[in-house]
Amino acid sequence: MNNLFEDFNDIEMLAEDLQSTDAGERIMAVIELTDTADPEVIPHLATAIRDQDINVRKQAAIALTDFDGVSTAAALVGALSDEHAEVRQAAAVSLTELKDPDAGDAIIPSLGVDDEFVLVSCLAGIKELRRADAMGPAIEALKHHSASVRCEAVNVIGWLQDKTSLPALRSAAGDNDALVRRAALTALGFNKSDHAEQILVAALTDSDWQVREAAAETLTKSGSAGCVPSLIKLLEDEYWQVRLKAVRTLGKLDARDAATLIGEQMTVPVPNLRKECAAALGVLAVSDTAKFLEPYYDDNDPDVRKNVRWALEKIAHTA
Amino acid sequence: MPLAQSSTSVPVVVNDDLCIADKGCTVCVEVCPLDVLRITDMADGRKTAHMEYDECWYCMPCEADCPTGAVKVNLPYLLK
Ligand code: SF4
Ligand code: SF4
């Protein structure tokens, strides 16, 4: 009991230092209040985040990273409109550290604002809280003129993993900004429906290589045998990064028809791609693909060597 | 580790006017993984942080975490 009173007195004494006329003392009060790790200090930090001195406000915004809950979120959301960019930025970072779903109560109302920075920060903050009531505002935010906002909105929708979001993700997959399209394709990973797969397969011919790569990567998680022909075509993509994801997904889908084409990729002077091809060839274990692997038994890259030797053993074992 | 010859010729320079070591701040000293920063008394009796040893990884937390922006890490040209 004694300890409780002592802690309370400590906090109150430190809180009094927040009234000091010296900004340095107020900063130290913020630091020491934070060090208590006691949620009782949140209201004091919420006051400090509105201090007249920019360094005190910034320190309070940073300090709130260590706390959670609705009061913390409310103080941080308020600081997103601070006149000073450093404070706004610190508050935005702290918002993404929140873990308590209840903290979303203070964020949801701000998902309706038009300000780009506030909206991006609030969407980023609510994402991992996985609040079902964020779905509506996130879908609405997909109409925002800013691609950054649309991107964060897609991320929120993706984290919710709700099948009813498919129309919204389909529309985001056709966005004119490549980053938004990529985010939408990644978000489709949880959805194993034919409709989701159609969207991903269509994106394999996107004009942006990173979008093609994201689509191929997501198909590793959710693709079915139906997407194999489109993935085989992707083995001719000009970007090895895209081919690498196609190889991985073809291996995962047990696409034995693709084994020879995967084997032909072994000549590419990119160790990461050779490593992936060797792994896929080992998984597929098609006997006449050993000839693609043998020249790389002593590859300079240890990871390639390891996968090649494993794949050859696998093929020999299967034969 | 070589001792710093002067507090302005080393990679990490502290603006004494901004430093609040006087109020008890030791943030930069605590975050430095090389333990090369110290709090020292100035001629006018105030305290300030300074680089005691001329050794640095240029890892930056001293500058990033200083609550008043008093620390400046001067990155060598090749690291910029
Ligand atoms: S962190 Fe900044 S204010 Fe604190 S002691 Fe170091 S230089 Fe001074
Ligand atoms: S840059 Fe890193 S190593 Fe150098 S003084 Fe700062 S914290 Fe220490």
DSSP A45-98: HHHHTT-SSHHHHHHHHHHGGG--SHHHHHHHHHHTT-SSHHHHHHHHHHHTT-
- pTM for the whole structure: 0.86
Q: CA of A189, closest CA in chain B: separation in Å?
A: 37
Distance (Å) of CA A238 to CA A213, A273, A304: 12, 13, 22
Please report whether residue B78 resides in a domain: no
A196: left (phi over 0), alpha (psi -120 to 50) or beta: alpha
The two tokens of residue A158 are 């993706």
Picking from B23, B26, B39 by the largest number of A CB atoms within 10 A of its own CB, the best residue to mutate is B23
From the list A250, A256, A253, A247, the residue with the least C-alpha distance to A274 is A247
Q: How far is the CA of A61 from the centre of ligand 2 (A)?
A: 24
CATH number for the domain that contains residue B41 = 3.30.70
Please report whether residue B50 resides in a domain: yes
Residue nearest to atom 6 of ligand 1 (CA): B28
% of chain A exceeding 70 in pLDDT: 97
Q: What's the average model confidence in pLDDT over A97-113?
A: 96
Q: ipTM of this predicted complex?
A: 0.86
% of chain A exceeding 90 in pLDDT: 90
Q: Evaluate: CB of B71 within 6 angstroms of ligand 2.
A: no
Flag whether pLDDT at A284 surpasses 90: yes
Q: Evaluate: CB of B40 within 6 angstroms of ligand 1.
A: no
The two beta strands, B37-41 and B12-14, are: unpaired
Please report whether residue B66 resides in a domain: yes
Residues whose CB is less than 8 angstroms from the CB of residue B27 and which lie 6 or more positions away in sequence, other chains included: A31, B65, B66, B67
Query: Could B67 and A55 be called an inter-chain contact, meaning their C-beta atoms sit closer than 8 Å?
Result: yes
The Cα–Cα gap between A167 and A137 comes to 15
B41 has which bridge partners? Answer: B47
pLDDT of residue A201: 97
The two tokens of residue B30 are 């605590």
Please report whether residue B79 resides in a domain: no
Query: Could A27 and B22 be called an inter-chain contact, meaning their C-beta atoms sit closer than 8 Å?
Result: no
Q: For chain A, what percentages of helix, strand and coil (3-state, to nearest 5) are there?
A: 75, 0, 25
Task: Provide the mean pLDDT of chain A.
Answer: 95
B71 has which bridge partners? Answer: B14
Please report whether residue B17 resides in a domain: yes
Query: Could B68 and A55 be called an inter-chain contact, meaning their C-beta atoms sit closer than 8 Å?
Result: yes
Q: What's the average model confidence in pLDDT over B28-43?
A: 96
Runs of H (alpha helix) within A144-239: 147-160, 166-173, 178-187, 194-203, 209-222, 228-234
Residue B48: strand, helix, or coil: strand
DSSP state of B53: B
The single-letter code of the amino acid at B14 is: V
Q: Evaluate: CB of B49 within 6 angstroms of ligand 1.
A: yes
**Would you say A172 and A183 are in contact if contact means Cβ atoms under 8 Å apart?**
yes
Q: What's the average model confidence in pLDDT over A110-122?
A: 95
Q: What's the average model confidence in pLDDT over B22-27?
A: 96
The atom of ligand 1 lying closest to the CA of B69 is 2
Q: CA of A30, closest CA in chain B: separation in Å?
A: 10
**Residue B26 at interface with chain A, using a CB cutoff of 8 Å:** no
The two tokens of residue A68 are 């959670």
Query: Could A24 and B22 be called an inter-chain contact, meaning their C-beta atoms sit closer than 8 Å?
Result: yes
Flag whether pLDDT at A8 surpasses 90: no
Per residue in A119-164, pLDDT (tens digit) is 999 999 999 999 999 999 999 999 999 999 999 999 999 999 998 8
Residue nearest to atom 4 of ligand 2 (CA): B56
pLDDT of residue A2: 47
Q: What's the average model confidence in pLDDT over A62-84?
A: 98
Please report whether residue B80 resides in a domain: no
The two beta strands, B12-14 and B71-73, are: antiparallel
Please report whether residue B36 resides in a domain: yes
**Would you say A203 and A214 are in contact if contact means Cβ atoms under 8 Å apart?**
yes
Picking from A28, A53, A87 by the largest number of B CB atoms within 10 A of its own CB, the best residue to mutate is A28
Flag whether pLDDT at A117 surpasses 90: yes
B40 has which bridge partners? Answer: B48
A15: left (phi over 0), alpha (psi -120 to 50) or beta: alpha
Q: Give chain A's end-to-end CA distance (angstroms, integer).
A: 74
Please report whether residue B6 resides in a domain: no
Q: What distance lies between CA B74 and its chain's CA centroid?
A: 11
Q: What distance lies between CA B70 and its chain's CA centroid?
A: 8
* A contacts of B23 (beta carbons < 8 Å): 22, 24-25, 27-28
**Structural domain count, chain B:** 1
**Would you say A80 and A121 are in contact if contact means Cβ atoms under 8 Å apart?**
yes
The Cα–Cα gap between A275 and A301 comes to 9
Residue nearest to atom 2 of ligand 1 (CA): B66
Q: Can you give the residue range of the structural domain that contains B22?
A: 12-72
Helix axes of A209-222 and A178-187: crossing angle, nearest 10 degrees: 0
Query: Could A27 and B69 be called an inter-chain contact, meaning their C-beta atoms sit closer than 8 Å?
Result: no
Query: Could B20 and A31 be called an inter-chain contact, meaning their C-beta atoms sit closer than 8 Å?
Result: no
Residue A300: strand, helix, or coil: coil
Distance (Å) of CA A313 to CA A115, A142, A226, B43: 59, 50, 30, 75
Residue nearest to atom 7 of ligand 2 (CA): B32
* Helix or strand run (H / E) with residue A260: helix A259-264
**Residue B46 at interface with chain A, using a CB cutoff of 8 Å:** no
pLDDT of residue B13: 95
The atom of ligand 1 lying closest to the CA of B14 is 7
